Amino acid sequence: MFKLDHKSILIGASVVASTALLLTGCLSSSSSTNEKTPAKVQANALAGPYTGKIGAIDGGVIYPRENGMYTAYVLNEQSTKGINHGRVPTANEIKAWDLDALPDGTGLPEGEGSVEEGDELYEAQCASCHGDFGGGGHGYPQLAGGNQSKDENGIVITLKNQREYGKTDAPKRTVGTYWPVATTLFTYIRDAMPYATPKSLSNDEVYAITAYILAQNYIKIDGEVMDDEYVLNAEKLAKVVLPNKDGFYPNIDGPTGPDDVKAFYADRAKNIGSGTRCMTDCKDPGGQDGKTEATLVRIDYEMSDVVPPYSTVRDLPPEVEDVTISKAEKMYNESCKVCHANDNMGAPALGDADAWEDVMDNGFDQVLRNAIDGMGGMPPKGGNDSLTSDEVKSIVEFMINSSK
Amino acid sequence: MAKMKIKAKEKKGVVKVKAMFTSLMADKEEAVKKGISPSYIRYIVAKVKDAVVYEVTMSGFMSENPLVKFEFKGKKGDKIAFTTIDNDNKTETETEKIK
Amino acid sequence: MDRRKFLGVGLVAFAAIVMPGTDLSAVDFRETMPQAWEVEKTVDGIKALYGNGALKESGKFSFKAPKLAENGGSIPITITSSLDLESIALFQDANPRCLSCVFSVPVGAIIDYDFRIKMRQTAVVTVVGKERGTGTLYTSSKEIDVSIGGCGG
């Protein structure tokens, strides 16, 4: 096994190498004008294969690089000199790709739409999946509803600790309770909805639908309630503050990224982002000279060391045994009902006397054998391997008796 | 927070109405399971010019945030008024113009 | 269930029923027929609400419902009829008590009622309509398969 892998890696590497050579040959003549790449980049490119630094990965193990190999892997020592990785995109290309809208409204297109127009559009295009008034119920995401009030930490109450009323209800993730930034609601609808025909809506229509969904969640813009006549545009959309604004990870991009992360976790988990990375005079991770043993550097905190702590309390009410149904029926419900509840899947339906009469023409033993070994679209034991043959027998008897 | 969402639209003399009410619709058993007191709407009535156009009495076995749809003969511009009574006899009324 | 708690809850519900209602109701069935809301089985429920009259099936009285409901917490039901009915009720055998809702139909109304019910398990749903004047009872029933039960479990 190992040998084979080894060989294919080598072949793969050589293919890459020859392609690279070919490309170099073609491009060097045509792209001579583009060779004014900054000197720093050039120097890095010239260095060729990646050379690891001691302790480069926090908590990781670094093995020696020897004879062009890093453990089982072959190092690519091909020079990358003169290889051009594409070209600078043109202004128009950037414009065509740069479609997102930032939370502050940058990137939102012109246009406007009223709640009332949105109502019409929603009815025609969205309600069949997302339900009337955004109430869900058709197997697709619910868009409005849920509890939007927040606890003292600014977390939407229904999203906290995953269960509502401390009991059984799962959190309701709607636009009002979950969605953090309203501008992405606009871009999401524009780019991905309606499901069957995405991008078929004009900007004005998307503004209208966005307005309608926000209004269904009782979102106020600048303290103003969104009534039917309310007209939404880019400027107003940027002002929307959704209840779950702070419920997501901070912005990790850009120069302020590390500071954002630290600030975000200051009163949350202690194990992420608050340490200082070792830059000089660090502990020798070992393993570099081939003599000392490689050591693991461990992180000081446990993943469970968070504030507030993860709840491990098991307080779901115990399942109540329904004494009115037999053990066989219970097993039937678990393993067989999916297909045998009705005849949609071609299986003889429970309670269908004619279908079961046909099946029973083969005799009970044959039916039982089919149930255990599988038959046609039916997997052995209904796909539940843990059933014993006796259990399958009792289920089959139950199904036959229920279908007379 | 508003407790109702009402939409009424007239077309060829027939008004189509959709209305959604905010309620957990938790009957005794469900309330015990959730650790809350029972809370459900037990009566909904819709009137146009004081004439009843829709009336339903319910138990907690209707879906959470009940949504009802119905039609009646009416005209544009009239006002439809919904009134609900919940299990604690709390009454809510909201009015919407027929479009 | 904790018996004391159950009794307490029952008392609250009972109080809600017997408390004097407001004047806006034409027929509030929870007040006029409190006993009908406590019945467990459909057959008895129909008797409690409409008496012992014979039930008739009719092509003019039917309802739409999914054969298989993925979510028992929200099963869409549409009742339509071209008959002149006085009231319509929906019963099911899935929940602790059978009566889900009773419509009192205003004179001359279009009967096209769309709503959603909860069912905690697979069961037969029956709608019964009472004709205005004659008092004839019409019925229609369907079994609805529920894969995930409603009522919070």
Q: What is the ipTM of this complex?
A: 0.80
The structural domains of chain B, ordered by start, are 4-97 (2.60.40.10)
Element (H, E) at A8: helix A2-30
The confidence score (pLDDT) of residue A42 equals 34
Establish, for the pair of chains A and B, how many residue pairs have beta carbons separated by less than 8 Å. Answer: 34
Residue range A20-30: mean pLDDT, rounded: 38
CATH class in words for A112-239: mainly alpha
Evaluate if residue A88 carries a pLDDT over 80: yes
The structural domains of chain C, ordered by start, are 24-148 (2.60.40.2470)
- Subunits with 3+ Cβ pairs within 8 Å of C are A, B
The confidence score (pLDDT) of residue C97 equals 80
Using alpha carbons only, how large is chain B's radius of gyration in Å? 14
- Of B1, B20, B35, nearest to A165 by CB-CB distance is B35
What pTM was computed for the model?
0.57
CB atoms C118 and B57 under 8 Å: no
Evaluate if residue A57 carries a pLDDT over 70: no
Residue range C56-74: mean pLDDT, rounded: 79
Least confident piece of the model among A214-223, A233-242, B31-40: B31-40
Q: Looking at the complex, does the CB of residue B16 fall below 8 Å from at least one CB of chain A?
A: no
Q: What is the 3-state secondary structure (H, E, C) of chain B?
A: CCCEEEEEEEECCEEEEEEEECCCCECHHHHHHHCCCCECEEEEEEEECCEEEEEEEECCCECCCCEEEEEEECCCCCEEEEEEEECCCCEEEEEEECC
Instruction: Name the pLDDT band for A298 (thresholds 50, 70, 90).
Output: low
- Subunits with 3+ Cβ pairs within 8 Å of B are A, C
Q: Looking at the complex, does the CB of residue A139 fall below 8 Å from at least one CB of chain C?
A: yes
The confidence score (pLDDT) of residue B81 equals 85
The confidence score (pLDDT) of residue A295 equals 57
The confidence score (pLDDT) of residue A314 equals 75
Q: Looking at the complex, does the CB of residue A166 fall below 8 Å from at least one CB of chain B?
A: yes
CATH superfamily of A327-401: Cytochrome c-like domain (1.10.760.10)
- Of A137, A139, A341, nearest to C145 by CB-CB distance is A341
Residues A221/A102, Cβ–Cβ less than 8 Å:
no
Q: Looking at the complex, does the CB of residue C70 fall below 8 Å from at least one CB of chain A?
A: yes
Nearest-CA neighbor of A165 among B59, B30, B87, C149? B30
Could you say which residues from 61 to 80 on chain B have a Cβ atom under 8 Å away from some Cβ of chain A?
63, 65, 67, 69
The confidence score (pLDDT) of residue C153 equals 38
pLDDT in tens, chain B (99 residues): 457 888 888 888 888 888 888 887 877 777 777 667 778 888 888 888 878 888 888 887 888 788 888 888 888 888 888 888 888 878 888 888 887
C11 or A210: which leads in pLDDT: A210
- Domain A112-239 and domain A327-401, same fold? Reply is yes
- Identify any residues that bridge with A233 across adjacent strands, giving them in sequence order: A112
- Subunits with 3+ Cβ pairs within 8 Å of A are B, C
Contacts with B90 (C-beta within 8 Å, 6 or more apart), sequence order:
none
Evaluate if residue A79 carries a pLDDT over 70: yes
- Helix (H/G/I), strand (E/B), else coil: C149: coil
| Contacts with C108 from chain B: Cβ below 8 Å | 73
pLDDT tens digit string along A128-146?
Answer: 888 888 877 667 888 887 7
Residue range A269-275: mean pLDDT, rounded: 49
pLDDT tens digit string along C7-30?
Answer: 444 444 443 343 333 333 456 666
Domain boundaries, chain A: 2-74, 112-239, 327-401
